[in-house]
Every structure is written in C-alpha cells, then in structure tokens.
Amino acid sequence: MRVAILVSGRGSNMAALIDAAKEPGFPAEIVAVISNRPTAGALDIAAGAGIATAVVDHKKFPSREAFDEALDAELRGHRPDIICMAGFMRLLTPGFISKWEGRMLNIHPALLPSFKGLDTHARALEAGVRLHGCTVHLVTAEMDAGPIVAQAAAPVLDGDDEAALAARVLKAEHKLYVHALKAWADAAPGSRETAWSGTGRSKLPRR
C-alpha cells in the first residue's frame, strides 16, 4: 500500500511511520511527505530517509479551495492509496475530502469523541479526567468526527501539567498510528468499508 503523509511541523508521528515502514514485511510504503510549511522539520527527516518531499505553501494561494486544488494535484502525482495526516494543521475543504473519501487517516491527541479540536491536553486537565489518550480516525468533512479506527489510552497522573501529559500521549500516538496503519493495510479492501459499527467505532484490532 502506497502512503502519502501530510505534515506541518516537526513530524514525530511521521517519523514513527517511516521507521515502521522500513521493517521487513510491513504492508505499507511511504512514498511522499508533503507540507504546507516550507520550514517544517519533518521535511528534513523524510528527505534523510530517502522519501520524496514537496511543499504546497498555503500562504501562496488566495483561498482554501485554491490551496486544496494544488495539494490534490501534488498528491495525485505520487499515486497514494491512502493519506496519513500527521500534525497537518490545515482544515481541508469538503470538496477535497470527497475526492479522497475513505482514504484519509488522521491522529488526534484525545480519546474522541471527547476533546475535539485544539488544546486537548489542557482541556483534559481542566475537566479532571483520569484517562486521556489518542485516536486514529477517518477524515470527514466534520472536524474530528470521522469513524474511529483505533484508540490508545494514557493515564492522567497526579501532578501532571500540560507538557507532561502531552509527552505521555505522544508516546502512545507513535505506537498507535503504526498499529492503525498496519491494520488498515492488512485489511481486505471490502472489509474496510464495512468495518464501522453504528457508533462510528472501528471493528479493526485495537491497542
């Protein structure tokens, strides 16, 4: 399975996927890493691993639609079977998402459906939850609302601040995204479309 990764920053989740894909027998190949920010550290990591990189700078386009059209064209040049969003800090238009429907995964630093959007760790601490975590889900037009593919929990410990909790969840993210991509790639194509229950939760294996 050919995988393209979308990034905006340092790319630690991307690096975890790249490392996993190097292992013999891993069912996915990372064919491209694309960023909307030319200074993203992830680009250097990907290039160092011998992976094709590209920049589609959102600041150079007059609208979200124009940016998404350019991003779509760049992606299609790499012929990915699936797109993994790994810290990609852009909201994509419904038109773009419809072109890649069922072929886009995202990782979110919370146990969805709780704490959608930004600042998840601060909000989890403020809410007083004792269990936090991360979610891999399919991307839909509604932000952080697509069917859940896999989740991993991380405890909230006494004395945690936002940085400590974020670091603990990030470690879980690295393992979970690899697990989810492998499970997705291993699943028969027909089973992917029928893997979702009425609650939007995946029947694929979980961590």
pLDDT digits (tens, 9 = 90+) for 186-205: 986 755 644 443 334 444 44
**Tokens for 121?**
């760790």
11 is annotated as contributing to ligand binding: yes
The C-alpha atoms of residue 152 and residue 169 are separated, in whole angstroms, by 9
98 is annotated as contributing to ligand binding: no
Q: In the annotation, is 137 catalytic?
A: no
Give the tens place of pLDDT for each residue, 25-69. Answer: 999 999 999 999 999 999 999 999 999 999 999 999 999 999 999
6 is annotated as contributing to ligand binding: no
168 is annotated as contributing to ligand binding: no
What pLDDT score does 177 carry?
98
Average pLDDT rounded to a whole number, residues 141-152? 97
> Could you tell me the residue ranges of all domains in the chain?
2-188
Domain 2-188 belongs to what topology?
Rossmann fold (3.40.50)
The C-alpha atoms of residue 148 and residue 110 are separated, in whole angstroms, by 12
Q: Is the dihedral of CA 177, 182, 185, 188 positive or negative?
A: negative
The C-alpha atoms of residue 147 and residue 201 are separated, in whole angstroms, by 6
From the list 90, 92, 81, 198, the residue with the least C-alpha distance to 141 is 92
91 is annotated as contributing to ligand binding: yes
With contact defined as beta carbons under 8 Å apart, do 115 and 144 qualify?
no
Catalytic residue from among 58, 78, 108, 121: 108
pLDDT tier, 84 (very low <50, low <70, confident <90, very high otherwise): very high
Asked if the peptide bond before residue 113 counts as cis, ω within 30 degrees of 0, the response is yes
The C-alpha atoms of residue 72 and residue 28 are separated, in whole angstroms, by 21
> By percentage, how much of the chain surpasses pLDDT 70?
90
13 is annotated as contributing to ligand binding: yes
